[in-house]
């Protein structure tokens, strides 16, 4: 009989293990923390400084649930805990990275605090007389407590293939609708001719909007603005992309002889993709209707957009927060079972908020078990 079994040795599982002496990690892959190594482009943006109300606007899910968990373990606590393992923070406009710029150092530090790790894939979980039985692909493990930290279904090559949802279902949990999040967008029509162009954009759907840096791709748009906006989409939806404003009458006065694609306030390759044949005309030769259309294409390029599951860094949806006690992260469906990290129906913007969530939930669960 194990006291605490942690299902999944990713960010949340490793953090929980670093706080519960003697906890055993069950990891399906050949190594723990593979996604952690990729975070922040290999530098690991592990938290974001700010008060809980400031942080809250970057999360999607039940506000009261998220607030309670974040207050238990604030970014300074995460920095403090990692500091005890030799990780010094570097602050970049509130985004916190390890000072050595190496995500691997976080994984190594957490692994150094972990107990036993066993290899195997959990399949389901049941409650017997006063303990939990975790069924794996190679037999059953009995434990007094278990933390389900198997992640979502983004970047399955790192081990989080969505099998955690089946385990949660076997414990009686509801999984809310799953969608790719922190994902690049597929646009129709795409702006393929402008592939690789960087732009500052505002993406809008109804009254929802996100502004920030973006990169045009062959199939659509990626970068922080697209990733943060991907939460706003369920399936394919009509949106507009603003690349700024263009005052065509002012341009006619100053640059009337220039081709539209060269005079527009965006890189020429992007202008050519936006305007098509019209971009080859001199500004002075545009008709009134073309002038209006050109202004509109810059300030509100209409497209239908869908979040791409290939390249999604996170999953929106997950185990319903109605079925988890935010004070402890214990399942309301199966006593003794706790949940942490991406598997829960809470997701976040770019900027260290996802790992803050993984660590805060892991802390809350481990504190309750301890």
Return the number of the residue (227 or 291) whose C-beta is nearest ligand FAD: 227
Q: How far is the CB of 360 from ligand FAD (least distance, A)?
A: 11
CB 291 within 8 A of CB 267: no
Distance CA 248, CA 229 (A): 29
**Three-class SS state of 43:** coil
Q: Classify the C-alpha dihedral 331-326-44-316 as positive or negative.
A: positive
According to DSSP, residue 78 is labeled H
Return the number of the residue (62 or 170) whose C-beta is nearest ligand FAD: 170
Q: How far is the CB of 329 from ligand FAD (least distance, A)?
A: 12
Check whether the bond before 38 is cis (ω within 30° of 0): no
According to DSSP, residue 311 is labeled T
Return the number of the residue (16 or 246) whose C-beta is nearest ligand FAD: 16
Q: How far is the CB of 49 from ligand FAD (least distance, A)?
A: 13
Return the number of the residue (306 or 340) whose C-beta is nearest ligand FAD: 340
Residue count of the chain: 370
Return the number of the residue (59 or 275) whose C-beta is nearest ligand FAD: 59
Residues that bind ligand FAD (CB under 6 A): 7-13, 26-29, 32, 35-36, 38-40, 44-45, 121-122, 149-151, 154-155, 158-160, 163-164, 313-314, 341-343, 352-355, 358
Q: How far is the CB of 272 from ligand FAD (least distance, A)?
A: 31
> Where does residue 159 fall: left (phi above 0), alpha (psi -120 to 50 degrees), or beta otherwise?
left
Q: How far is the CB of 68 from ligand FAD (least distance, A)?
A: 18
**Three-class SS state of 208:** strand
Q: Which residue is nearest to ligand FAD (CB)?
A: 10
Q: Report the run of H or E that residue 37 belongs to, with start and end.
A: helix 34-42
Return the number of the residue (36 or 271) whose C-beta is nearest ligand FAD: 36
Q: How far is the CB of 153 from ligand FAD (least distance, A)?
A: 9
Pairing type for strands 179-181 and 122-127 reads unpaired
**Three-class SS state of 60:** strand
CB 237 within 8 A of CB 205: yes
């Amino acid at each position: 009989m194990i006291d605490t079994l942690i299902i999944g040795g990713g960010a949340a599982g490793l953090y929980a293990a670093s706080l519960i002496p003697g906890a055993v990690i069950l990891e399906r892959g050949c190594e723990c923390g593979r996604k952690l190594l990729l975070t922040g482009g290999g530098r690991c943006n592990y938290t974001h400084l700010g008060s809980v109300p400031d942080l809250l606007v970057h999360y999607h899910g039940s506000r009261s649930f998220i607030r309670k968990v974040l207050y238990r373990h604030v970014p300074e606590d995460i920095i403090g805990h990692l500091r005890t393992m030799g990780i010094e923070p570097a602050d970049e406009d509130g985004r916190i990275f390890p000072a050595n710029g190496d995500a691997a150092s976080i994984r190594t530090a957490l692994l150094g605090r972990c107990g036993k790790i066993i290899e195997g894939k959990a399949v389901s979980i049941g409650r017997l007389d006063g303990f939990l039985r975790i069924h794996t692909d190679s037999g059953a493990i009995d434990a007094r407590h278990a933390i389900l930290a198997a992640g979502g279904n983004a970047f399955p090559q790192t081990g989080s293939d969505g099998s955690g949802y089946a385990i949660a279902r076997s414990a009686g949990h509801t999984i809310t609708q799953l969608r790719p999040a922190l994902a690049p967008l597929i646009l129709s029509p795409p702006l393929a001719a402008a592939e690789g162009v960087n732009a500052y954009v505002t993406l809008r759907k109804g009254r929802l909007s996100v502004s920030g840096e973006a990169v045009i791709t062959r199939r659509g748009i990626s970068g922080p603005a697209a990733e943060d906006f991907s939460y706003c989409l369920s399936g394919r939806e009509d949106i507009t992309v603003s690349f700024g404003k263009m005052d065509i009458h002012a341009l006619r006065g100053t640059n009337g002889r220039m081709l539209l694609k060269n005079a527009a306030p965006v890189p020429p390759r992007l202008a050519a993709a936006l305007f098509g044949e019209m971009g080859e005309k001199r500004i002075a030769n545009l008709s009134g209707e073309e002038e209006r259309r050109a202004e509109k294409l810059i300030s509100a390029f209409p497209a239908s957009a869908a979040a791409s599951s290939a390249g999604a860094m996170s999953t929106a949806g997950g185990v319903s927060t109605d079925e988890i006690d935010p004070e402890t992260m214990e399942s309301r469906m199966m006593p003794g079972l706790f949940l942490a990290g991406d598997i829960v129906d809470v997701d976040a913007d770019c900027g260290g908020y996802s790992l803050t969530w993984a660590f805060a939930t892991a802390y809350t669960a481990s504190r309750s078990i301890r």
